C-alpha cells in the first residue's frame, strides 16, 4: 500500500509511546516494554505513563522518543566509525536524536568525541539545552545559530546529522496541527528550505565525512530527491540502502518507516559520504557562542561555593563532592515542584538529593527548611 494511504488508514489509532534508556544512568527496563528492533535501549510501551511525575525522567535516566525517530541513531551506529569523532546535530530540538547520538558516541568512543547540538529557534534551543542537561553528557555542546554559521569552521565535522524541518506527514497521528498546516505549497517550500540547510552546512563537513539526512514526511521531493540533489550538486556518494529491519521500507536512496508497518510514527532517513574537498579550518566552536559547553561545578558567591544545578545531573558528577540524600517519591516530587520541605536528619549545607540513587539536583539544608537550587524553568508545573 502507498505510504500516504497506509498512514491515513492508521489515523484513528492512538499514537505509539516509546522511551530510550540512558545507558550511563541505568534503570530497569520497563515491565510492559517491547524492545525497539533498531535500538537496544529503546522500548515501545503499552500505555503512556505520567512521565512528568516520574523523578527518573527528570534525572535523565530515559528520554521519551518515538521509536521511528530512533532509526536515525541506528544509521549513525552502522555508518559512523572511528574514535575522536566530531559530530554536528544540525536541527536538534527537542533533543531526542542528540541524546541518542551522545549515548552511541560514548559507548563507542568513551570520552573521546565532540557532539555539537544546534537549534536555530531560540525558544526551542532552550528546551534542547534543558534536555541535554538532564541527559548529562559533558561532551555535548549546545548552540543556537543559523546552519550557515558552521561554514566558517571549515571542514570540521566527521558527521552531520540533519533532521530537517519538513511538511510533517509522519506526525499526522501525533500532531493535529501538522494535518491543518499541510499543503502542496508547504511541501515545495520545505524541499527548498531543506536544500538551503544542506548547502549551508556542507562546507563544515570533512571530505569523506558522513551526512545522515532525515525527515518525518513521506514526500519523495523532500526525501530521496533532496538526498540525490545533495549528492549531485554538493558532491557526495549515496550509501545504498540495504538490510532494512523488518517493517522498514527501502526507497531509492534511503529508508521509510510508516505507521501500520512499524510501531512508531513516520520517518525517512538516508546517508551519503562527502566526496568534494572541504574548506580550510578557520574558527573554533567558541566562535559560535555556545549555550552549553562542558560542565561547571559551581560559582563562588561570598564565602559559599554554590554548586551548579547541572553538575548533579552530569556524568562527570563526583559523588564524593557532596553528601548524598535519598528522597522518597513524595519528597522528590516536592523538590521537582520547588515546594518547601525539610531534611532534618541530613547534614547542614549543600546536599545532592537523589531518587533511587540518581541525582536530581542540589539543596542547601538550613535545618528547618531547604533552599532549592532546581532552576525555576525546570520545575514541574502540574499538581503533584
Residues noted as catalytic:
216
Specify the pairing of strand 349-355 against strand 358-365.
antiparallel
Q: Going by DSSP bridges, is the β-strand pair 140-143/249-250 parallel, antiparallel, or unpaired? A: unpaired
Main-chain phi, psi angles of 260, to 5 degrees:
100, -25
CB contact set of 160 (below 8 Å; sequence gap of 6+):
87, 88, 90, 201, 204, 205, 209, 210, 211, 212
C-alpha cell at 84: 575522536
Instruction: Judge contact between 327 and 188, C-beta under 8 A.
Output: no
Q: Which residues of 274-297 are buried (b: 16+ CB within 10 A; e: fewer)?
A: beeebeeeeeebeebebbbbebee
Determine the length of the chain: 384
Pair 227, 263: CB distance under 8 Å = no
C-alpha cell, 214: 532525515
Amino acid at each position: 500500500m502507498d505510504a500516504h494511504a497506509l498512514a491515513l488508514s492508521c489515523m484513528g489509532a492512538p499514537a505509539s509511546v516509546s522511551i530510550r534508556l540512558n545507558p550511563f544512568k541505568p534503570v530497569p527496563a520497563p515491565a510492559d516494554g517491547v524492545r525497539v528492533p533498531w535500538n537496544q535501549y529503546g522500548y515501545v510501551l503499552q500505555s503512556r505513563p505520567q512521565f512528568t511525575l516520574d523523578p527518573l525522567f527528570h534525572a535523565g535516566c530515559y528520554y521519551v522518543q518515538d521509536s521511528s525517530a530512533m532509526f536515525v541513531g541506528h544509521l549513525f551506529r552502522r555508518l559512523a566509525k572511528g574514535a575522536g569523532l566530531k559530530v554536528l546535530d544540525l536541527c536538534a530540538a527537542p533533543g531526542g536524536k542528540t541524546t541518542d547520538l551522545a549515548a552511541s558516541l560514548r559507548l563507542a568512543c568513551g570520552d573521546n568525541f565532540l557532539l555539537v547540538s544546534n537549534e536555530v529557534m531560540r525558544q526551542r534551543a532552550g528546551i534542547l539545552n534543558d534536555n541535554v542537561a538532564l541527559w548529562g553528557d559533558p561532551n555535548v555542546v549546545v548552540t543556537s545559530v543559523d546552519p550557515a554559521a558552521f561554514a566558517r569552521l571549515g571542514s570540521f565535522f566527521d558527521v552531520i546529522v540533519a533532521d530537517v524541518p519538513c511538511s510533517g506527514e509522519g506526525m499526522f497521528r501525533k500532531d493535529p496541527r501538522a494535518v491543518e498546516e499541510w499543503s502542496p505549497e508547504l511541501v515545495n517550500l520545505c524541499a527548498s528550505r531543506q536544500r538551503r540547510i544542506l548547502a549551508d552546512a556542507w562546507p563544515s563537513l570533512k571530505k569523506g565525512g558522513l551526512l545522515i539526512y532525515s525527515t518525518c514526511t513521506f514526500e519523495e521531493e523532500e526525501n530521496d530527491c533532496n538526498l540525490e540533489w545533495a549528492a549531485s550538486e554538493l558532491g557526495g556518494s549515496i550509501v545504498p540502502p540495504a538490510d532494512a529491519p523488518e517493517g522498514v521500507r527501502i526507497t531509492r536512496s534511503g529508508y521509510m518507516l510508516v505507521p501500520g508497518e512499524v510501531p512508531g510514527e513516520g520517518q525517512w532517513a538516508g546517508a551519503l559520504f562527502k566526496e568534494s574537498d572541504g574548506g580550510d579550518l578557520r574558527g573554533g566552536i567558541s566562535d559560535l557562542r555556545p549555550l552549553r559547553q562542558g560542565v561547571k561545578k559551581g560559582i563562588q558567591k561570598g564565602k559559599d561555593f554554590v554548586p551548579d544545578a547541572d553538575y548533579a545531573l552530569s556524568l562527570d558528577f563526583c559523588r564524593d563532592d557532596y553528601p548524598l540524600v535519598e528522597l522518597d517519591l513524595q519528597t522528590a516530587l516536592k523538590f521537582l515542584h520547588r515546594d518547601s520541605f525539610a531534611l532534618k536528619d541530613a547534614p547542614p549545607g549543600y546536599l545532592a538529593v537523589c531518587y533511587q540513587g540518581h541525582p536530581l539536583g542540589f539543596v542547601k539544608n538550613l535545618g528547618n527548611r531547604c533552599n532549592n537550587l532546581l532552576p525555576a524553568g525546570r520545575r514541574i508545573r502540574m499538581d503533584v
